[in-house]
Structure 1
Amino acid sequence: MASIALVDDDRNILTSVSIALKSEGFTVRVYSDGETALKALAENPPDLAVLDIKMPRMDGMELLRRLRERTAVPVIFLTSKDDELDEALGLAMGADDYITKPFSQRLLIARIRAILRRTEARAEPEAPDEAQPAAEPIVRGRLSMDPARHRVSWNGQDVVLTVTEFLLLEVLAQRPGFVKTRDQLMDTAYQDDVYVDDRTIDSHIKRLRRKFRAVDPEFKAIETLYGVGYRFAEE
């Protein structure tokens, strides 16, 4: 049974999300400020932590920075809507994903499960005679993806992606030139029957392009086929 730490100064969020997670079988620990959470999480790390960014006394960024000095616990940030600076800083500091407020509890639970599955897969010991082959790296022109290490680079420069962004790019890059509809991309990124609309996928694609254009302003590898979906362009 995985343990989840919730750190937020909003009591309503702590209560409602805690109830939702417990109903899914998780063990939940709640903290209303970063200072209290730091000591507890450093001494007894959970399987995953959900941190609000804007908190008094110690904000989520500082909490993550100090946690990363002691533990590699996976972290999901809760951010203000469209706060790109928070998103970029959080991912650069080692957050695994982010969700903007207000958020769906079902979406949060789906993201938590996705990160835990990926974390467990990396940590799984393999017996020499029963070892499963590791996911093969994907190389498409200037794009390089290593699913086993969750690493992406473009033209030799690292690009930091969330779990959801990584999954979307991976499914597009696996078959360059082939179109993936929004429904197919939603099935890839959001498991456990979580409903999201088309605009959510469009927003992730927009962020993906923005991150790649930060290292290459001429990046055009993710193409839109209007009314159909998206594809990774063959070079």
Structure 2
Amino acid sequence: MLQVHPKTVYYWVRTGRLNALTSPGGLLRVRAEDARALCQSAGMPIPAELATVKRRVHVVEPDKTVSRSLVRNLKAKGFDVRTYEDPYEALIATAKEPPELLIIDVRHPGIEASRAISALRRDDNTKRTRVLVWSDIGHDEHSTLLEAGVEAVVPRGDAAALVKAIK
């Protein structure tokens, strides 16, 4: 599919350039999202098999009206979107089936967002998941989240900034 020798793929996995899962039989399995990300970062052409794979996004948003609006906009851009009101449910789903992108409103009672995001960054399966925070937060919390591994913090309600951050 990538038109390279299997030893090259093994080298990429071993050096951390390409994320892979190991099957119970010891075989390496590469997710389509990871192979596509490698092609993009290395300037390689994206094979047709990978170009048609929908990019998965998890959206954590308690407000159903806002959630529907985000889903509509993301689906129009070709994303496979899954929504969650409960951040814990979203984090569990993200760990089980990592999306390309996690958009989370961190203003949920009982969740310490920076610790949750740090945990995602430490996990081999989720460390490459892009995380965007969609929330109105103070400068101190903004800095803490960026240190934890958030790609961007977008002010709540600024759809144009969110679309720009997703690209």
Regarding TM over 0.5, the answer is yes
Distance verdict in 2 for CA 1:47–1:109, change over 3 Å: same
Q: Which runs of 5+ in 1 are unaligned?
A: 114-235
Query: What's 1:5 paired with?
Result: 58
Runs of 4+ more than 4 Å apart: none
Aligned residue type for 1:89: T
Query: What's 2:133 paired with?
Result: 77
Query: What's 1:16 paired with?
Result: 69
Q: In the alignment, is the contact (CA less than 8 A) between 1:8 and 1:51 conserved in 2?
A: yes
Query: What's 2:163 paired with?
Result: 109
> What's the CA shift string for 1:126-159, capped at 9, x where partnerless?
xxxxxxxxxxxxxxxxxxxxxxxxxxxxxxxxxx
- TM-score with structure 1 length normalisation? 0.44
Q: CA deviation at 1:31?
A: 0.9
Distance verdict in 2 for CA 1:13–1:61, change over 3 Å: farther
Q: 1: CA distance between counterparts of 2:60 and 2:155? A: 15
Partner SS, residue 27 of structure 1: strand
Q: CA deviation at 1:29?
A: 0.9
Percent of matched pairs sharing the same residue: 25
Q: 2: CA distance between counterparts of 1:69 and 1:35? A: 17
Q: What is the correspondence of 1:20-59 to structure 2 with a 5 Å cutoff?
A: 20-59=73-112
Q: 2: CA distance between counterparts of 1:98 and 1:91? A: 8
Q: In the alignment, is the contact (CA less than 8 A) between 2:56 and 2:79 conserved in 1?
A: yes
Q: 2: CA distance between counterparts of 1:9 and 1:60? A: 15
Q: In the alignment, is the contact (CA less than 8 A) between 2:115 and 2:148 conserved in 1?
A: no
Q: CA RMSD in A?
A: 1.6
Q: 2: CA distance between counterparts of 1:2 and 1:55? A: 26
Q: 2: CA distance between counterparts of 1:63 and 1:34? A: 10
Q: CA deviation at 1:59?
A: 4.4
Partner SS, residue 68 of structure 2: helix
Q: CA deviation at 1:23?
A: 1.2
1:94 maps to 2:149: yes
Partner SS, residue 111 of structure 1: helix
Q: 2: CA distance between counterparts of 1:57 and 1:14? A: 21
Structure of larger gyration radius: 1
Aligned residue type for 2:77: E
- TM-score with structure 2 length normalisation? 0.61
Aligned residues: 111
Q: 1: CA distance between counterparts of 2:86 and 2:140? A: 22
Q: CA deviation at 1:95?
A: 0.6
Aligned residue type for 2:161: L
